[in-house]
A and B are shown apart, each in its own frame.
Chain A
């Protein structure tokens, strides 16, 4: 680390004094009412030389002789002034609508925002760099109406789940397409936990470096995305990276961000009764081992009681076991960028180093990103190149869900009187003298948490290169041709180890895996942009795209190490190799025509035809169109004076879709290496193939209005959409007795409709103080309209199952996507719970118990500015979804849940019978099987983000080499303001897949806080 700092500082010295200026211009900026304006940005056009006005509205800047200054501030019309011979410039800034806001849309084409017939939200890069998330996609939470971000409980390097306008495919990918500088990048999840445990191996977007993001633009609707093809049917998130601009010398920017994180202690387990079984404490060591996961003992009384290791300790609460196990995590990010350019050439180079230590001991992530962006203009030809190399190393991705190797599982399950530190063992890593797992209970599958943390390995390193090169030739001022080649390629090396001496696998086992992914995109477009004399503007292009992707896996794995503790493949007694490949391609032609009239009315039509390699040749082509319109009402007719701007928009679009490769034919493969020389062969698929597949089709209608009122003090943007996916290609769960777990069919229908509301309010705007509020709200109504057979009602598809084997995620006709199903209490007609002859509640019928996806999301950002201080607070919430809390089911089984205190003294558990005290545990264990008890309302409100920043005034910096310095205190996920779930965080789902609503012993949610320092030269 020291070396890196030295390197950074040397660079500072090198570039600090490269700029120079010839004259000083000063002046005062006021608004229309004559009030002085603080914090107006003043930039020398074409350079990064700039300043801001001080408390009295004054500024002073050194500029070159031929300089032009641009004055800008949010909510005001920017103004450019040629300096000429002036040395004093006093200026009045007019409030105005940012009518010329430009956003980047499909294919990286910049458009005036008012021309768009659909909703677009743009987020600036600083939203991702101040208060950071390891996975940048998680930073979107609460910031964009209609974007539902799930915070997956899977630790550093984990995946994100971002859903825009609801889930629209039963089995396919529902996450948006991520596009960097016009080129799609891969966001494949490389593996997530399921009912039998497992790890979250991360996704594609997680390796994007926030420091290189200029803006992130969310294209929500299908029409916004029509030109990106099938993968854009779930919306597009366009990332535009930072580029160099015209300036003098080389601009240097340094950012340093340090945060630490702690678990949010949501758990509230009972601390009155200790370890034991049948209402009794252990009296012998074998009893202590047998009951070490159970809190069905006696009331804690401090009496010396034997424990698993044969030692006796006081039978009393040992305190915060989770606090003892989880440590304080930390993340330190340092980035440096250099940029520069002139009229014809520009460049930016960035390097970022991130080091993270997770809250689970011996886990963490480090990531290095190198990025470069250059562009040159040679007459009519513009050539640009952007490339990024990322090296990401994640150490010990936590095991989730089921117990083997899952440290969380065990840490959560400790009885109140057993100190998790007593499991450390003589070596301090959960091993005994021999170096094998220190056993503390009789279920070998419940792993010693220290052993899991320090001896298991689940690590991977990813080397990723992404880049694109673009050539654009401008024939005339209205005709151009552009060709682009983009690539996203990575190699992932993964090592998983169950070490020698693991209780459930005494001789151990490991696997080494290498996966190679490559996606290439080639596209060519020819376009015209022309405004005719009669006020009609034409913007049109036609083009084609070729997409190819391949995923190749080569691995070796096996069991039983010959030489103890020598953990290498070569030391395995039994081992095998595996190889897999998956390839697909899509070819497309597309076109777009936009007509505008006097900047009042904009009409856009697009069409795209895709050919999919994954579908049968006879039916692999689909043509789909879109039409949108934007009408600037406030320019067309005279509006009341309080209306500053009014726009109506509408659109209709279709998008076609395909499926995974190799879904058409039944094939056979070999298993293992044969048996006594005879090869073993079987049907490869667990899913019934279908050679009659057709493309799926999503169509969406969208209507919206954008009003800005009272001199822009109130902005209202409202959108209604209605999206239907038909012919959805889905993997329908079928009865396993068919021999297959699922079937590929082509008849699903889903509907999402909803509203999105965005309010921008500026309650106070004074010279020294301003307050801005942004409120976003979205409600999405989702319905699975039809599944397997159109004529048949009430069909249901099972997507996932909880390890408790009593809760399931289904997609079910007539229900929203991803419902939680399971067993209810048996009840009589009056709704009373029924009990069996033992006095235990009876498990009743199987049915829908909850909705795994929140229909309502909202976020509220308040920004305050006082002089040079800025305070920003984001509160967000989700409502209406449920979660099956398997952790609570286990807390019943284990006697940890506070509800299980009822009846321990007298056997009055609440049922019709008074139970013998040694049966109280059986009563609650019975409830463990009753799903209904553990399906809980997962609605929440969180204090998601907090930043308090200070911009050092220019006057303070004058004698330093720095041109801008800002320092912020930042925090993420600070408080759970409202939750209705017992013990767990309502955002604790362990999967980022289409099976939302299951929780079980994930990594606890954390709050992080720290500081961010930004320095520019």
Chain B
């Protein structure tokens, strides 16, 4: 019995000992061995740039299905191409909103926060701040009032229901941010180098790009706040904007190894063959004998380019013409490959904005010269997709000679050329069209459309925000107007 009891005590002792350190090693066990606690800012900046270029998801929905068809670059018969017919599809409409905050605004805010905290790399910080403007301006241009000042700060500041800022305030802050970041660009520190897919960390090109962005944002305010617009435009021009197609802000994509490396628009064209060149766009090029027509369009069956009119479906198209999609122009496949570059801003746009600034008297340069530079750059810029898409100086000059700039028609001509120059950069094409009204687009009248048969002025917020950020979205709606296609945002009023 005694020996049993001894054993009993021994066992009790062993048990007690094993329980004394009941959580030894637990802290380490709860650290994910596949994750890091810190990150090189280069890696995060690369990620953010690539994500801003976008995945197939939002490029399909917000860019192609909605924006490209509403500005009548493209058209489609399939009814899920909602933008073609001004139909509302909640998930398509909210796709940019649904992806931007999760996919890159979170990380750009984190990157900026870390760079600000360390204070060691002002140049990196400046580029990151410029890129944040690039990211946000596209979102606000699509939806209007959006979470901005409090957005993406769920971890940094614990903000889980960000307020919606008025677009006016967003624009003023973005302009201020650009101005401040431009000043910070030469602050030194590490360079992003090749982690910057756009300019390889080239400070001078970033300065030009930032000023060009300032020019774009300034001009965007031309209706809503001409004084602020003029001030920004003047500041941008004096700071130095893009000077050639070598300055185009674009990200080069590659065919792999994974989806994230690919061009989101290219991925769409791999999967979807419903879209065609819009009749509006093809006719505009044809009427001006535009050398771009065979660079941008592609006829599988040969022959002249034929645009597909917007606003038809597979049945109603019979009332217009052929219901065989092969008889209409596709987008040139060379433009929409998975390894195509994604363009954020071009030199052509800059020259056309300068021409407009000159017409408005906000810039002392010659409107016609800027126009000619812009159009020529726009005609020739497609070679960045593929060398075979190059258009010769002679052809470009001939086009300009045949379609000379006329100051009295200047705003229309600039607007139309801007529209052509921003093909495939549909966020910008759609925004500038709403601001200028050029080209004059005939709205379609598809039964059951959600915009009173007018071209929508914005896309609608995600349904999810109503449930989860209700107070803030309601504040935005009461300020901006109903969450409808037809509501005009601040700079569009």
Q: Which residues of A approach B to under 8 Å, CB–CB?
A: 277-278, 280, 282-284, 286-287, 289-291, 442-444, 475-476, 479, 481, 504-507, 524, 526, 543-544, 546, 558-560, 573-576, 579-585, 587, 589, 609, 611-614, 617, 620-621, 661-662, 664-684, 686, 688-689, 732-741, 743, 788, 796, 798, 801, 805-806, 808, 810, 821, 823, 838, 840, 846, 916, 918-919, 922, 925-926, 929
Contact = CB atoms under 8 A, between A and B. Distances in A.
Interface of B: 1, 4, 8, 11-12, 15, 18-19, 22-23, 26-27, 29-40, 42-44, 46-48, 50, 77-80, 88, 90-91, 97-98, 101-102, 105-107, 109-110, 146-147, 150-155, 158-162, 194-195, 197, 252, 254-261, 270-272, 274, 313-316, 318, 323-325, 447-448, 462-470, 472
Residue from A282, A524, A739, A929 having most chain B Cβ neighbours under 10 A? A739
B61 to A, nearest CB: 12
29 contacts: A277-B315, A286-B314, A287-B314, A291-B314, A444-B271, A475-B8, A505-B271, A584-B29, A667-B35, A667-B37, A668-B44, A669-B34, A671-B47, A671-B260, A678-B43, A678-B194, A680-B50, A681-B47, A682-B47, A683-B155, A738-B153, A738-B160, A739-B105, A739-B106, A743-B154, A798-B464, A806-B90, A846-B463, A846-B470
A737 B256 CA distance: 30
B481 to A, nearest CB: 17
B400 to A, nearest CB: 36
B101 A739 contact: yes
A678 to B, nearest CB: 4
B19 A589 contact: yes
B8 A680 contact: no
Contact of A481 (B8, B153, B464): B8
A734 B154 contact: yes
Contacts of A291: 314-315
A581 B44 contact: no
A506 B269 CA distance: 11
Nearest to B108: A739
B258 A585 contact: no
Given A738-B101, A739-B105, A672 B36 contact: no
Given A576-B258, A734-B160, A821-B467, A680 B448 contact: no
Contacts, number: 286
A740 B32 CA distance: 19
Given A524-B11, A806-B90, A926-B448, A738 B254 contact: no
Contact of B258 (A574, A589, A669, A683): A574
Given A668-B37, A683-B107, A614 B160 contact: no
A738 B315 contact: no
A587 B37 contact: no
A684 B35 contact: yes
Nearest to B80: A443
For B12, B23, B160, B447, the residue with the greatest tally of chain A CB atoms inside 10 Å of its CB is B160
A809 to B, nearest CB: 11
Contact of B448 (A282, A675, A681, A925): A925
A395 B47 CA distance: 38
Contacts of B150: 737
A730 B321 CA distance: 58
A929 B50 contact: no
A775 B42 CA distance: 67
Contact of B315 (A280, A476, A671): A280
A580 B19 CA distance: 30
Contacts of B464: 736, 798, 801, 808
A286 B30 contact: no
Nearest to B274: A442
Given A544-B18, A676-B197, A735-B160, A740 B155 contact: yes
Contacts of B274: 442
A806 B270 CA distance: 29
Contacts of B470: 846
B257 A506 contact: no
Nearest to A737: B147
Contact of A613 (B30, B195, B270, B314): B30
A587 B26 CA distance: 10
A841 B306 CA distance: 39
Given A734-B468, A741-B102, A676 B194 contact: yes
A734 B470 CA distance: 11
A810 B467 contact: yes
Contacts of A581: 32-34
B151 A673 contact: no
A965 B42 CA distance: 75
B31 A665 contact: yes
A681 B23 contact: no
B315 A278 contact: yes
Given A581-B32, A662-B31, A805-B90, 11 more contacts: A283-B318, A287-B323, A544-B15, A546-B18, A576-B257, A579-B34, A617-B23, A682-B48, A737-B151, A738-B160, A805-B91
A670 B272 contact: no
B43 A681 contact: yes
Q: Which of B15, B316, B318, B469 gathers most chain A CB within 10 Å?
A: B15
A740 B261 contact: no
A680 B271 contact: no
Nearest to B252: A676
Contacts of B315: 277-278, 280, 282, 287, 290-291
A584 B11 contact: no
A662 B32 contact: yes
A587 B23 contact: yes
Give the residue among B48, B256, B469 with the most A Cβ atoms within 10 A.
B256
B137 to A, nearest CB: 16
B37 A613 contact: no
Contact of A740 (B154, B257, B463): B154
Q: Which has the most chain B C-beta neighbours within 10 Å: A575, A667, A821, A929?
A: A667
Contacts of A611: 22-23, 26
A656 to B, nearest CB: 14
Nearest to B44: A681
B255 to A, nearest CB: 7
A678 B447 CA distance: 49
Nearest to A669: B35
A613 B78 contact: no
Contacts of B102: 686, 736, 739-741
Contacts of B258: 558, 574-576, 672-673
Given A573-B256, A672-B260, A922 B39 contact: no
A678 B46 contact: yes
B151 A738 contact: yes
Contacts of B50: 675, 680
A894 to B, nearest CB: 12
Contacts of B1: 476
Contacts of A576: 257-258
B39 to A, nearest CB: 4
A683 B23 contact: no
A355 B147 CA distance: 55
B255 A574 contact: yes
A683 B257 contact: no
A284 B77 CA distance: 15
Contact of B469 (A587, A737, A919): A737
Contacts of B448: 838, 840, 919, 922, 925-926
B323 A284 contact: yes
A125 to B, nearest CB: 35
Contacts of B15: 524, 526, 543-544
A620 B25 CA distance: 13
Contacts of B314: 277, 286-287, 289-291, 442
A132 B291 CA distance: 72
Given A290-B314, A735-B162, A846-B466, A617 B197 contact: no
Given A280-B315, A686-B102, A738-B101, A583 B155 contact: no
B154 A286 contact: no
Contacts of B325: 286
A739 B151 contact: yes
Contact of B152 (A442, A506, A738): A738
